[in-house]
Amino acid sequence: MSLGDTTRHLRRTEYLEMPWRNGGGVTFEIARAPRAGDEFDWRLSLALIERGGPFSSFAGYRRAIALVSGSGCVLHGIEAQPVPLREPGDIALFSGGAAVTCDLIAGASCDLNLMVREPGSVVAARHVTLAANGVEPLLADCDNAVFCLEGEAECIEPGSGRKIALGLHDTFIVSAAGARNWQARAGGSGARLLTFAWRNAGKT
C-alpha cells in the first residue's frame, strides 16, 4: 500500500510469488523500482530455498541476504571460507555476479534479499533487537526498508502523527527523501527487525 510519494507499507500477504531466474527456487517479491519491466534499480524479496544449489546470477548488482526462518544454509563463493547463516537475522553481503552456491543445513529456509544496481550500494544491513517500546532511527539520505522478523513493531514519523503498524514479516519502505523523519519502534513485548539501507545508482 502506498502511503504517499515517499513511503510504502507491504503486508506479507501482498508479496508477489515468482520463480528464481535460474528456476532453482521461489521468490516472493516485496517491492522494486521501477515497479514494472524486466530491469530494476533495486529489489527487495523473500526467497524460499527448498534445496541446495546455485544462486541466480545478477551481475552488476550488490546483494544483501538475511536468514528469516528455517535452519539456515551455508554459502560458498562469497569468501575464502564458507559463510553460514544459521540463526534468523544472520546476514551476508556479496556481489550479484559472484558464483554463489548454498547447502541447506536441515531443511528449507527463507531469506530476505536486497539487490541494488551498481554503482548504487548497500549502505547497511542490520539485525536489530529492540526491547519494549525501543526505538531505532532510520538512516538519512538512503532508501530504507524495515522488515518485522519477530514480535510487533511500528514505523513512526514524530511530529506528524503518522504511524504504520507492522505484523510478522510485513515491510515498511521509505525513500531517501523522507527517511530522516522516520523511526522504527517495538511494541510492548519487544521486536526483532531487519533494516536495510541503500543508495540508488546516480545517488551514491
Q: What is the DSSP string of 107-129?
A: S-EEEEEEEEETTSEEEEEEEEE
**Residue 95 belongs to what H/E stretch?**
strand 91-95
Rounded distance between C-alpha atoms, residue 37 and residue 4, angstroms = 22
Bridge partners (DSSP) listed for residue 46: 28, 112
- Is pLDDT of 150 > 90? yes
Model confidence at 139, in pLDDT bands (50, 70, 90)?
Answer: very high
To the question of domain 14-120 being in CATH 2.60.120.10, the answer is yes
CATH 2.60.120.10 in the chain, residue ranges? 14-120, 122-199
Give the model confidence (pLDDT) of 24-43 as tens digits: 678 999 999 987 777 899 99
* Average pLDDT score over residue span 101-108: 93
Which residue reads 539485525 in cell numbers?
127
Model confidence at 202, in pLDDT bands (50, 70, 90)?
Answer: low
* pTM to 2 decimal places: 0.93
Rounded distance between C-alpha atoms, residue 60 and residue 87, angstroms = 29
Model confidence at 3, in pLDDT bands (50, 70, 90)?
Answer: very low
Q: SS3 for 20?
A: coil
Q: Tell me how far CA of residue 30 lies from CA of 84, 180, 193, in angstroms.
A: 24, 22, 16
Fold of 122-199: Jelly Rolls (2.60.120)
